[in-house]
Each structure stands twice: as C-alpha cells, then as structure tokens.
C-alpha cells in the first residue's frame, strides 16, 4: 500500500516536473565539532514531494515522515542520510565523531543585549550543553545561565576549569573571575565597537566530556539615520548576479549589491539596511535610481561606478558626489578592492593601496580613506599602456605589494595575445608573467574575465570567463584548466550555468559558485574540482560570504528580504569525498611559522621547522617557497623517524587528540635555517648594496604533494623583513657602583680652549635632563668604558659586543683613551677622530659603519704611527675613556655602533659624565703666590722706606746740631 503510494507520488512528480527539492542539516550552534555521537542535529527538506528520511540503523529520528526532523546517531563514522523522494535525490555521508566535545562556551556582552549595566567591555561566560540549552542561550540573548547551565558550569569550575580568553586583535589573554551569580566575568580590551575573541579551556571533563574552544564576535553597530524623500536607491543592472563588497580590514562591514537595491551591514549580516544616496547636484536618472556596476567600501565613504565614472558617497552627509580632481570621471572600465587585510605587513611610512580602477589603457590606485576636503587626488596612476594594449581586468595580487592586470595586445594583423602583468607598489615597476603566453591560439579566450589571487609567497591565481577557469600556481610553475571530475569545463559540469564567484577560507578551502548555485570545491593549489551536493535551489539569488569565524555564510536575497544561512563546508567536503577519488598523500602536516611577520637583522638566524607524517613507502618533502631569494641563504636539516600511530594535537581544541592510524608511519622533520651571507653586507661605503641586502621576503611552507582531502594549517604565508626591526635601539648601562644624579644643575660652561675647534670665549651649555638623562659621577682619575645593551622597544635583546665610538656632543676634546694602537695589536695605523674629521665633516656623519676600516686586517696601507691612542672600544677591549686631569668637567657623549655587520639600524645612544675630585687651589695657586709675594715686597719696601726716612731724618738732625 505504502509502496504503491510512493510510486504514484514519484510518477506525479516526474509528470508535473516539480523542480528538484533540496535538503540540508544543521546542529544547534552550527559548529562542525559538535556533530558527535548522541548529540542531536536537524534535517530539513525543502520541496513538496517528501516521503520520509532514510538513515542508518545506528541512528534514530524523532519522526521520519517530518520534513524537518531531529536525528541522533549512536555510533561514530559516516552516517548515510537521504530523503526518499525520487531517484535523483542526493545522499550525504555525515561524519559523526566520537570526540569528547559536547559542551560549548557561552558568551554575552550584557550591554549589547540592552541590559541596564552600561559597561560595553564586560563579557559574561558560562558553559552550556547544546542539547539542554534554553532558547535564550541558543539565540545568545540570555544574560544569566539557565538552571542546567549553572549546574554544569559549577561542575566544571570545581574540576578546575576556567575560560582562557584570547582577543584576536592583540593576541593578548584577558583575565576573568568567577562571580556568585554562576558565571565568569571579564573585561575586554580594545575597540568597544567590535570584539572578537577565542575562548579556550583546560583538559577538564565532566563525565568524560569537554568544552569545545570557540570564537565569539560582538558588534556595536549604530543604525543609520532614516532616509527621507530626497534619497534614491542604487541598483545593479537588471539581470545581474548578486555581488559582495567588504571592508579591507573590517570584513564585518559589507555591501551587498543587487538589482533590488544595495544593502549595508556593520555586523556581518546580523542586521542590514538599504543604502541610499542624496543626489546632491547630480541629475537623477529618469528611472528614479542610479544604476551601479561596482562598489568599494572605504573607511569613511563608499565609491560607486556609475556608467564610466566613479562617484563617492560620504558616510556622514550621504551625498553622492562627482569630483574630477579626486576620482576618475570618465572612461572607467572597472573598479576593484583589496580582499585581504595587510595591516600587519612591515612597511614604514608607506600605505599600500586598497582600491584600484582601470580605464582601457590606464590603471589607478587609491587608499583606504578618502579625504575630500584637501586638494590631493585620491587616485594615482600606476600604469599607462599604448593604444595597442587594453586592460581587461585588474586585481590585487598574491603578494601584499602586488597589483595585477590582465592585458590584451592587438597588433594589426597579429593574433590577439593575452598577458598578465604584475606591479610591485614599493618598487614601482611592472613585470610580465609567463602565464597565458603558452596558451594555444585555438584556445583564444573570450572575456569578460575575472581573477582571484591566493595570498602566497609565489604568485598563485585563477582567471576565468563565464565558462572556463585557468589556474597558474607558484609563479606559473604549473598552469592549465581547472578540471571538474568527469567534465571538460565548469559550465558543462553545472548544467550550462556560468561561473559566478570564487571564495577561499583561511584553511585554503576554495569554493567556486555557479550562477545556478552549484558548488565546486578544491584546495588552493589543486586543479581537480569536486562537485558538492546542492544546498540551495538553483533559482535563488545567492552569494557566498566568509564571516569572522572563518565560516561560509550563504546570503539569499528574496522578495521577503535577506536570509543568511550557514554552510557547513567541512562536513560537506567530507561527505562528498567519501568516494575515495580525492585523497591526501600524507597523514598530517604542521609547521612552526605561526607569526605573520618576522624581522631579521644582520647576524640573526631564523629556524623554521615543519613536520609531515606519511605512510611508509612514500616520500614527501616539505618545500620552502619564497620570493626575493637573493637576500638570504637557506640550509636545511632533515630527520626521519618511523612511528606507530601518531597523536596529532589540534591546536584550537586542547582537549582533542586523535590516533591517526594503527600502522607504521613515517615522521619526517625538516628544519630550515635562514640567514644572510656576510659577504652581501660587508662591502663598505656603498649604500646601494645596503638597500640590495635588505627587503621583505615572503615565505610559505608546503608539502611537495598535496590533495583536496588534506588538512593544511591556517597560516601558510609569513613575511620576513630583512632590515632594521621596529623600535630597535641601544641603551648605555648605568653601572650600579657609579652614582647617577638627576636635576643637580641647569647649565654649565665649557672652557673655549678645550673645544675641538678652540674658541676664545667659554661655551655655555643648557643641560637637557629629559633627553640626556642622569649624569654619572666619576672621579677624575678613574677610567670608564660604557657597556651597551640592545633593546627592541622595552624588551632587552642582548648586550652589544660590537665595536663602537664615542664623541662629545658639544665638541669637547679633553677626554682620552688609555690604550694605544700598539697595545691593541693594530697591524697598521687605525682610524681616529682626527683623521676622520679632516674634511671638516660633522661628527655625526664623519665616522660610522659606512666608512669603518678595521686596523686588524692587512692592507697595503703604510704602518703609520702606532703610538697614538686607539679610539675604538668594545665590550671585551682594554681600551677605556679617561678624563681631564686639569679640571672637573661635564661631558655629554654620543655612542655609535661602528661594525657594519652588526645591524641594519643606525644605533646611537647618549650618556653624560661629570668628574669630581680636583682641588680648587691647584688652578689659582700662582696668583695667590704672586699676590702674597707682592704684599711681602710692598711691606718690605715700606719698611725699607721707613728705615730710610728715619736714617735720613737722623742725619738731618745731626747736621743742624
Ligand atoms: C509524524 O509526522 C507526520 C507528518 O507531519 C504526522 O502525520 C504523524 O502523526 C507524526 N507521527 C508522530 C508519531 O508524531
Ligand atoms: C565519473 O565517471 C566514472 C566512469 O564513468 C564514474 O564511475 C564516476 O562515478 C563518475 N564520477 C562522478 C563524480 O560523477
Ligand atoms: C685602561 O684602564 C682600565 C681601567 O683602569 C684598565 O683595566 C686597562 O688595563 C687600561 N688599559 C691599558 C691599555 O692600560
Ligand atoms: C674588541 O677590541 C679589541 C681591541 O681592543 C679587538 O682585538 C677585538 O677584536 C674587538 N672585538 C670585536 C668583537 O670586535
């Protein structure tokens, strides 16, 4: 009876040709880790011909005749599920894991849920069981735990669990404390408008089950002011596919362009609003709206391409403006924006472009915000081609500094030729790629074209027109057509539909979406495409969006509005790959290149290791791909081990480990040692060479063989800045035994006679305590040698053993060195301040790493006078500074590192010395002596005169008598 009904329904279905239904599944929190045994998930059939669900015996369904049913599975492994509809319906192999994860972290910011507390930085955290959570907890509106969650959280707390909160912007962990209301509270740091953090736990379990680590994101989006009658809508041309535009470093701010309007979100499509513009002085087209082709989202404005002009809408006054001085007002053929944030990229004083626009023969770039009040142009021209070359499309490249343009050359009778050219922003030069030059003539492709670049050390990209997609991997070392299984072109594999969109997540999973919503999958770097089961019916308008949690969302625009649906990409890939065509040649691959940016100064070495596990009998290596190879030297060390089963720890989930396979595998370690060859940098007096030996190197670690089924670590590419690391500087150590005084005087004088350029009058110096710091009090007889430490910001790196020189800031020269050139074993006369200053150069520049010559190397130079003082010091030398023996003096010394092989940085520091101990009498003694002698002489003279007068008087008296 039932079977008969089924047949009838099938016949009816085929007869009336009701379109294919689609079916989907999800779990409560749509987390892939939570498809576990005994946890419920939900099946959903969309279509009208549903009969019942088919599922394995190990699973149970609440009501198999319900199109929306709940299902539980008891055993782990693949569960094959499908709705019984017609022969055509696709089945899925849902992977149910027996992992220990069952519970989730719940996080809520009360302020964002309109609670009375007004601190937007406080987050409350507790633990929930998805199967027993309350609705408010599932929809993230609960402010306090439910009874069950409170009990669960308490049990975990007793076992020693606490949340480790790591902010994604700063990678700092935030402290939390447990409150008597049954949850943890923490104060978040950073921008209150947008919080994104991960919560990790400890390996603590409750009845053998753990809490899964998770990412939580909160937005504080203030709604737009309501629009009035003046404002008009912006539509894509009729018949266009949906198109998505997002902020370079704020992907939760996005614009959805459609033929039904333009919509903006500030919270990753939790909410959205239509964007309208005040036409200002512009003429509104007769249809009553503007037709746009492309858009770009800046920090403070939106840019639209309307016809062949670029217009901008300021975020504040929302007026649409045309300004030929800032934006291109005619001939624009396309507008594109950067899709990956490059804020971390180490460039000083240089802003990489965020937007690009092209005309037929010219390419322009623009920055991340548009300042329309000043007079500067927003766009800068970076490419100007002859009339025979036409730009077909342009995009930001694989490297943060690269821009790429696809150019068509037409030369009289020659066949049309396509070429890809790349521009490096800081170098300012264009290079052409060999890609497409090998394309056969009969394969001549028709545009319009689009491109997608994978962030990679060596250029890796896809180029497509409506029907076919070409790839070029690793600087074109591999290229060809992307191959869907059993079909020659993508369009053919998708029932004639056209390519609509390409999206890639952070783990290098790529999705190619067709206009009929068919999806193809591959790992970036693989040319074999796998078709995934249908998730959305072919008639819906849909576009893919990669959200903040690295999940794919489907944005479906219908007459009833915008609908967001999570897409469980990893579950779908696993299901589709169960056939076994797509395998991974290795079992596990990890590497220790976790940071986005590394710095390498002279003399530094970096070690990067990678580990790969594979089956015995294979041989897979790890390759380090890098650009700018000439800057560095690389050696590598390898190490094999055979192991029985391997435990790989999933870093995101501390509680999770997984025995790979119980057979003998090979564990292969490869360590790359990266350093700079000395000869590259030791050639002195050549600033050209310095700039050639510094720069940025992009590095990428990849196994030599990969497949679609491989798991790849998230961060594949790191940039190494060979040059001066930011905030690197030196400090002079203040020895503990020497007192260092602050604010004891304001000014002092230097006698004119002790200056390097002697003067008649004395020099008055105002001492700058803020910049120079304390003054070391040293006895005039003592010798002193400064010790120098190297710092990165406030972090001590190591103490400096390189050679350095000192000079007195105000030009004193009454300080000396106690070693002679002979004593330090110079082979010829060494450089001295006297010899370096002959050209009357300024002390600051006269002597330094650029012109340093060591006296310990043989040269053809004459021996010279080795009895002169040696004026270079270092940590291990016996050469010390000595001070004036005539006068207590104040010196302000500048130290400078002299060794050219020590650092790319200009390392200088300042320290001050005040000597004491010289008795004041010494200097004035001769004057006193003269004075006293004069007095004595005067007294003597007086006495003599008196005596003489007395004698004379007596004589006179005698004469008169
Ligand atoms: C299962 O669902 C069907 C269809 O809605 C309904 O008719 C039937 O009564 C349900 N069975 C049970 C046991 O709830
Ligand atoms: C591809 O073709 C082969 C042989 O015709 C067939 O066995 C296989 O199932 C096909 N694969 C797909 C994904 O259609
Ligand atoms: C210079 O003075 C220091 C400290 O008094 C002493 O250790 C060193 O040996 C002296 N150097 C020479 C060459 O005499
Ligand atoms: C330190 O100076 C001495 C001479 O005083 C010299 O022999 C030695 O090579 C120098 N050390 C370094 C690291 O340059």
- Tens-digit pLDDT profile for residues 139-148: 888 999 999 9
CA distances from 624 to 344, 421, 453, 602 (A): 21, 25, 19, 21
**Given this model, what pLDDT does residue 652 score?**
30
The stretch 387-393 carries a mean pLDDT of 93
pLDDT band at 9 (very low <50, low <70, confident <90, very high): very low
pLDDT in tens, 579-630: 666 778 888 898 888 888 999 898 888 888 888 888 877 788 888 999 888 8
- Closest Cα to atom 1, ligand 2: which residue? 486
pLDDT band at 957 (very low <50, low <70, confident <90, very high): confident
Nearest atom within ligand 4 for CA of residue 876: 1
Question: 895: CA distance to ligand 4 center in Å?
Answer: 16
Question: Per-residue b/e over 494-529, b at no fewer than 16 CB within 10 Å?
Answer: beebebbbbbbbebbbbbbbbbbbbbbbbbbbbbbb
Residue with more model confidence, 929 or 941: 941
d(CA 799, CA 381): 48
pLDDT in tens, 183-212: 999 988 887 788 889 999 888 888 888 898
Q: Shortest CA distance to 520 belongs to which of 491, 480, 561?
A: 491
pLDDT in tens, 73-105: 998 888 999 888 765 678 899 988 888 888 999
Report yes or no: 537 and 22 within 8 Å, Cβ to Cβ.
yes
pLDDT band at 678 (very low <50, low <70, confident <90, very high): low
The stretch 628-653 carries a mean pLDDT of 66
Strands 605-615 and 728-732: unpaired
Nearest atom within ligand 2 for CA of residue 485: 13
**Given this model, what pLDDT does residue 356 score?**
95
Sign of the CA dihedral 534, 540, 545, 550?
A: negative
* Number of C-beta neighbours around residue 337 at 10 A: 23
- Closest Cα to atom 8, ligand 3: which residue? 878
Window from 58-62, 364-368, 706-710 with minimum mean pLDDT? 706-710
Question: 63: CA distance to ligand 1 center in Å?
Answer: 6
H/E segment holding residue 507: none
- For residue 486 and ligand 2, the question of a CB distance below 6 A is answered with yes
Question: 868: CA distance to ligand 4 center in Å?
Answer: 17
**Given this model, what pLDDT does residue 3 score?**
38
**Given this model, what pLDDT does residue 891 score?**
94
How confident is the prediction for the chain on average, in pLDDT?
85
**Given this model, what pLDDT does residue 418 score?**
87
pLDDT band at 2 (very low <50, low <70, confident <90, very high): very low
Question: 878: CA distance to ligand 1 center in Å?
Answer: 95
Window from 146-155, 207-216, 454-463, 837-846 with minimum mean pLDDT? 837-846
pLDDT band at 115 (very low <50, low <70, confident <90, very high): low
pLDDT band at 16 (very low <50, low <70, confident <90, very high): very low
Q: Scanning the structure block, which residue is given the tokens 């009498």?
A: 921
- Ligand at minimal distance from the CA of 869 is 3
What's the burial of 107, exposed, middle or buried (CB within 10 Å: 0-12/13-18/19+)? Answer: buried
Question: 626: CA distance to ligand 3 center in Å?
Answer: 50
**Pair of tokens at residue 113:** 């849920």
pLDDT in tens, 247-275: 988 889 999 999 999 999 998 999 999 99
**3-state DSSP call for residue 739?**
coil
CA distances from 31 to 25, 73, 450, 569 (A): 12, 17, 33, 11
Mutation test of ligand 4: which of 602, 822, 831, 874 has the most ligand atoms closer than 8 Å to its C-beta?
A: 874
Question: 486: CA distance to ligand 2 center in Å?
Answer: 6
- Whether pLDDT at 938 is above 70: yes
The stretch 301-327 carries a mean pLDDT of 90
What's the burial of 792, exposed, middle or buried (CB within 10 Å: 0-12/13-18/19+)? Answer: middle
The stretch 96-124 carries a mean pLDDT of 80
**Given this model, what pLDDT does residue 499 score?**
94
pLDDT in tens, 764-813: 999 999 999 999 999 999 999 999 999 999 999 999 999 999 999 998 98
Q: Whole-model pTM? A: 0.82
**Given this model, what pLDDT does residue 47 score?**
83
**Pair of tokens at residue 698:** 């992009």
- Ligand at minimal distance from the CA of 781 is 3
**Given this model, what pLDDT does residue 960 score?**
64
Residue with more model confidence, 689 or 429: 429
**Given this model, what pLDDT does residue 858 score?**
82
Mutation test of ligand 2: which of 483, 485, 518 has the most ligand atoms closer than 8 Å to its C-beta?
A: 485
pLDDT band at 680 (very low <50, low <70, confident <90, very high): very low
- Closest Cα to atom 2, ligand 2: which residue? 486
d(CA 830, CA 909): 23
**Given this model, what pLDDT does residue 12 score?**
35
Question: 67: CA distance to ligand 1 center in Å?
Answer: 10
The overall longest dimension of the chain from CA atoms, in Å, is 184
Q: Scanning the structure block, which residue is given the tokens 């150019």?
A: 407
Q: Shortest CA distance to 693 belongs to which of 850, 904, 400, 905?
A: 904
- For residue 61 and ligand 1, the question of a CB distance below 6 A is answered with no
**Given this model, what pLDDT does residue 869 score?**
92
CA distances from 417 to 383, 388, 469 (A): 19, 11, 18
**Pair of tokens at residue 343:** 């804020």
Question: 885: CA distance to ligand 3 center in Å?
Answer: 16
- Whether pLDDT at 332 is above 90: yes
**Given this model, what pLDDT does residue 118 score?**
59
**Given this model, what pLDDT does residue 13 score?**
35
**Given this model, what pLDDT does residue 693 score?**
78
The stretch 30-34 carries a mean pLDDT of 75
Question: 484: CA distance to ligand 2 center in Å?
Answer: 11
- Whether pLDDT at 663 is above 60: no
Mutation test of ligand 3: which of 880, 881, 883 has the most ligand atoms closer than 8 Å to its C-beta?
A: 880
Sheet holding 788-792, edge to edge: 728-732, 788-792, 795-799
Question: 551: CA distance to ligand 3 center in Å?
Answer: 68
pLDDT band at 648 (very low <50, low <70, confident <90, very high): very low
pLDDT band at 657 (very low <50, low <70, confident <90, very high): very low
Q: Shortest CA distance to 294 belongs to which of 263, 328, 254, 337?
A: 337
The stretch 11-30 carries a mean pLDDT of 62
Q: Quick one: what percent of the chain has pLDDT higher than 70?
A: 90
Question: 531: CA distance to ligand 2 center in Å?
Answer: 12
Strands 210-212 and 101-108: parallel
**Given this model, what pLDDT does residue 398 score?**
93
- Ligand at minimal distance from the CA of 877 is 4
Question: 421: CA distance to ligand 1 center in Å?
Answer: 63
- Ligand at minimal distance from the CA of 50 is 1
- For residue 485 and ligand 2, the question of a CB distance below 6 A is answered with yes
Mutation test of ligand 3: which of 783, 821, 826, 867 has the most ligand atoms closer than 8 Å to its C-beta?
A: 783
Highest mean predicted confidence (pLDDT) among 828-842, 860-874, 895-909: 895-909
- For residue 63 and ligand 1, the question of a CB distance below 6 A is answered with yes
- Whether pLDDT at 10 is above 50: no
């Amino acid at each position: 009876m039932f079977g008969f009904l089924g047949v009838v329904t099938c016949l009816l279905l085929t007869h009336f040709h009701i379109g294919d239904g689609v079916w989907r599944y999800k779990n409560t929190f749509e987390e892939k880790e939570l498809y576990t045994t005994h946890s419920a998930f939900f099946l959903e059939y969309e279509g009208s011909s549903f009969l019942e669900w088919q599922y394995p015996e190990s699973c149970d369904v609440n009501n198999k005749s319900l199109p929306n049913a709940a299902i539980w599975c008891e055993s782990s492994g693949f569960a094959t599920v499908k709705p019984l509809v017609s022969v055509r319906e696709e089945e899925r192999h849902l992977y149910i894991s027996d992992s220990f994860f069952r519970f989730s972290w719940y996080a809520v910011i009360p302020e964002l849920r309109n609670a009375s507390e007004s601190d937007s930085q406080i987050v409350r955290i507790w633990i929930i069981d998805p199967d027993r959570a309350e609705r408010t907890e599932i929809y993230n509106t609960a402010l306090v735990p439910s009874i069950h969650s409170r009990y669960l959280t308490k049990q975990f707390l007793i076992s020693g669990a606490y949340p480790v909160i790591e902010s994604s912007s700063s990678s700092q962990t935030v402290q939390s404390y447990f409150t008597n209301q049954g949850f943890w509270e923490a104060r978040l740091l950073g921008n209150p408008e947008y919080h994104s953090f991960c919560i990790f736990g400890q390996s603590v379990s409750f009845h053998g089950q753990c809490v899964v680590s998770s990412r939580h994101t909160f937005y504080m989006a203030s709604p737009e002011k309501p629009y009035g009658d003046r404002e008009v809508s912006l539509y894509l041309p009729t018949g266009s596919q949906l198109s998505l535009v997002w902020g370079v470093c704020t992907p939760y701010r996005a614009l959805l362009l459609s033929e039904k309007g333009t919509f903006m979100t500030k919270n990753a499509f939790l909410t959205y609003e239509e964007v309208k513009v005040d036409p200002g002085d512009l003429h509104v087209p007769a249809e009553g709206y503007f037709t746009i082709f492309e858009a770009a989202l800046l920090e403070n404005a939106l840019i639209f391409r309307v016809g062949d002009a670029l217009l901008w809408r300021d975020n504040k006054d929302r007026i649409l403006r045309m300004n030929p001085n800032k934006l291109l007002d005619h001939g624009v053929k396309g507008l594109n924006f950067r899709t990956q944030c490059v804020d971390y990229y180490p460039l000083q004083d240089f802003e990489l472009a965020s937007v690009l626009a092209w005309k037929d023969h010219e390419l322009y770039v623009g920055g991340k915000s548009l300042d329309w009040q000043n007079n500067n142009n927003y766009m800068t021209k970076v490419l100007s081609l002859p009339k025979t070359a036409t730009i077909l499309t342009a995009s930001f490249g694989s490297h943060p500094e690269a821009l790429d343009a696809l150019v068509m050359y037409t030369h009289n009778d020659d066949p049309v030729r396509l070429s890809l050219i790349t521009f490096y922003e800081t170098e300012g030069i264009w290079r052409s790629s060999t890609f497409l030059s090998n394309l056969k003539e009969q394969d001549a492709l028709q545009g319009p074209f689009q491109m997608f670049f994978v962030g990679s050390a060596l250029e890796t990209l896809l180029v497509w027109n409506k029907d076919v997609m070409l790839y070029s991997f690793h600087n074109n070392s591999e290229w060809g057509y992307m191959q869907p299984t059993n079909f020659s072109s993508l369009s053919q594999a998708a029932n004639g539909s056209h390519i609509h969109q390409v999206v890639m997540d952070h783990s290098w999973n790529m999705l190619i979406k067709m206009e009929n919503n068919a999806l193809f999958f591959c790992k970036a770097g693989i040319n074999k495409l796998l078709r995934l089961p249908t998730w959305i019916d072919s008639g819906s308008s849909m576009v893919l969006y990669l959200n903040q949690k690295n999940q794919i969302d489907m944005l479906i625009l219908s007459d009833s509005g915008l609908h967001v649906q999570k897409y469980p990409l990893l579950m779908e890939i696993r299901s589709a790959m169960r056939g076994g065509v797509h395998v991974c040649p290795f079992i596990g691959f990890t590497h220790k290149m976790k940071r986005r940016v590394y710095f390498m100064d002279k003399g530094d070495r970096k070690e990067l290791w990678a580990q790969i596990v594979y089956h015995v009998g294979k041989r897979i290596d790890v390759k380090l791909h890098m650009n700018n190879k000439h800057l560095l030297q690389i050696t590598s060390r390898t190490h094999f081990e055979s192991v029985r089963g391997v435990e790989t720890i999933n870093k995101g989930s501390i509680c999770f480990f997984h025995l790979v396979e119980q057979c003998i595998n090979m564990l292969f370690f490869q360590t790359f040692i990266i350093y700079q060859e000395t000869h590259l940098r030791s050639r002195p007096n050549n600033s050209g060479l310095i700039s050639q030996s510094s720069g940025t190197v992009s590095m990428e670690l990849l196994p030599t063989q990969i497949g679609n089924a491989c798991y790849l670590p998230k961060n594949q590419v790191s940039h190494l800045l060979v040059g001066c690391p930011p905030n690197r500087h030196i400090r002079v150590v203040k020895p503990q035994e020497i007192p260092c005084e602050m604010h004891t005087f304001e000014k002092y004088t230097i006698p004119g006679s002790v200056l390097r350029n002697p003067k008649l009058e004395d020099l008055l110096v105002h001492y700058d305590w803020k910049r120079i710091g304390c003054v070391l009090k040293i006895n005039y007889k003592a010798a002193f040698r400064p010790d120098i430490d190297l710092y990165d910001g406030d972090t001590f790196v190591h103490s400096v053993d390189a050679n350095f020189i000192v000079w007195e800031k105000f030009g004193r020269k009454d300080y000396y060195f106690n070693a002679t050139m002979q004593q330090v074993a110079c082979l010829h006369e060494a450089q001295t301040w006297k010899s370096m200053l002959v050209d009357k150069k300024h002390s600051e520049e006269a002597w330094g790493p650029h012109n340093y010559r060591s006296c310990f190397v043989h040269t053809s130079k004459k021996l010279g006078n080795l009895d002169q003082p040696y004026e270079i010091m270092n940590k291990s030398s016996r050469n010390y500074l000595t001070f004036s023996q005539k006068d207590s003096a104040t010196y302000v010394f500048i130290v400078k590192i002299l060794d050219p092989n020590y650092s790319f940085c200009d390392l200088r520091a300042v320290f001050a010395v005040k000597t004491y101990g010289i008795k004041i009498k010494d200097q004035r003694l001769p004057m006193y002596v003269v004075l006293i002698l004069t007095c004595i002489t005067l007294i003597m003279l007086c006495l003599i005169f008196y005596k003489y007068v007395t004698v004379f008087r007596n004589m006179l008296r005698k004469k008169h008598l």
